[in-house]
A and B are shown apart, each in its own frame.
Chain A
Amino acid sequence: AQRVTQPEKLLSVFKGAPVELKCNYSYSGSPELFWYVQYSRQRLQLLLRHISRESIKGFTADLNKGETSFHLKKPFAQEEDSAMYYCALRGNTPLVFGKGTRLSVIA
């Protein structure tokens, strides 16, 4: 079965501090991992995907198959990063999402 776990419901950090949003997954095959973000009053949208190994808005995420993790990181948080973040996995079934982490960046 596919499962995504985001252990933190809420994460508060000060502006300029590093951010790490945790994501662990369960899947026996080779997964595709994603981070989606939902800003206030906006639609859920793709932030980044592990296969492209890109940095979007300063965020990066590395797939660690040994630890079955795909944590989202940013070295210096900005106020505009405040949003709801969802980790998602696609295996042999459609996208499965975690319960999300609300990031609050305090000025």
Chain B
Amino acid sequence: NAGVTQTPKFRVLKTGQSMTLLCAQDMNHEYMYWYRQDPGMGLRLIHYSVGEGTTAKGEVPDGYNVSRLKKQNFLLGLESAAPSQTSVYFCASSSAGAGFYGYTFGSGTRLTVV
């Protein structure tokens, strides 16, 4: 099925540990995004990419790094996890230009940092 796939779906980390979240899309979308969702705050943009090999900071980039080595994949890394990074993380992708009709979201990764 076409769409956005996120792995893992759940993860528990200890403070200071590192991890990488993987996002893969098979729609040939140019743009990809990482958001975090916290209760009562909607979604906030962490980082995004406008094409293979590019990345840019969003609204809340501190403590995260990203890479987009292949067009279909967008990785989100936490170098040293903190309890404040406990959240649900969503990846999304979109086309651009005249073909832009909105985002396709993955099903999310629920991360708990203890």
Q: Do A and B bind each other?
A: no
